[in-house]
Amino acid sequence: MTDNHTAERPECIEKIRAGARGIKYRPAKRSKTIDNSPVDPETCRYLFSVATGKRWMELGEREPAPKMLFGELWHEGELCILFADTNVGKSVLAVQIGNSIARGKAIAPFTMYAEPARVLYIDFELSTKQFYQRYTGAEGDHNFPFSFLRAEFRPDNALNGNYSNYDEQIIAGIEYKIKLVKATVLIIDNISCLRGGIENSSVALNLIKHLKALKTDYNLSILVLAHTPKRRNPGSPISTDDMHGSKLLINLADSAFSIGTSAADPHLRYLKQIKQRSSAQIYGEDNVCLCRITKPGNFLQMQFEGNGPERLHLRTRHLNQHLLAPKVAQLAAKGYSQRQIGSELHVAVGLVNKLMPR
């Protein structure tokens, strides 16, 4: 059996050998050694703090109650997840929230008790021009406060490496900017930038671990944007199962809310509270918050217009018939037969007959 002496040669020798062969020198990957020996409990004695229940109550009473940043949906010190389908207004609302926190001015009807804060908005979605176009108008550019800072992703500056290293570089880059600008509020738009794939539970766990570490180390309030699956059933209420990727992200987050699109009006949106720890559920399925994307002047934003039950905005059989009836009437007025109307609208002739004007 021939011994392999390659690993024993000094690195400088390997570089010379590679140069003589006319090839690029690539250092051999070193396999990680895993220590399977039992862990000494004494070395882990500081992992947990122990006190009586009464003592924890005394400590809890001394700590200030978390202040609202965006009503009951997001509080100070929380890692919150906002998820929705593509092109329903996640980024619009996130920038609006960031602008609100930086100014210290609430977005009606949501309460904000927190003081103005320095916001770092990590933008993986929009280019500089796209961002500019959203916040300019006939009356000029929107005047963002100096405490609202936007960071645009530069993928060409990332180091080469595997997916895990790439994702860790992104987190490290975010951490550097947090320290640089002294931000206390972090908004990430959105986590689909991670190449490891949040569908993988181990990747999701690693991500949430890093975000929670950032939250603790820098006393941050974090809002993370995420997608819903493309094939989500529009007739079902929004739930934790509708976030694209691992459900583990929501399970380990402090709070979560979502944006839905109304089946009754394609321009109408609604916010639904999915998870909360710092307050009671206010915007559940019986009381979602209704809103529309508008641009009064030079600032693209969500305009809120009341509340209502989620069921009125789901694509149910009754709602489908309600939406089809005027279309059937229009085609019938043009002289279409019931069979032609069914073919045009992709519905059964029996349903067309039921919806025909009498």
Does residue 246 contact residue 201 with C-beta atoms inside 8 Å?
Answer: yes
pLDDT bin (cut points 50, 70, 90) of residue 164 is low
Model confidence pLDDT, tens digit, residues 307-343: 989 988 887 766 566 667 788 888 888 888 888 887 7
Domain architecture of the chain: domains with CATH: 66-313 (3.40.50.300), 317-355 (no CATH)
In the predicted model, is pLDDT for residue 10 greater than 70? no
Higher pLDDT, 46 or 294: 294
CA nearest neighbour of 221 among 75, 41, 18, 70:
75
Find residue 304's DSSP bridge partners.
Answer: 291
Helices (H), 160-259: 163-181, 201-218, 248-252
pTM, two decimals, is 0.77
In the predicted model, is pLDDT for residue 273 greater than 90? yes
Task: Say how far residue 158 (Cα) sits from the centre of its chain.
Answer: 22
> In the prediction, which pLDDT does 96 show?
98
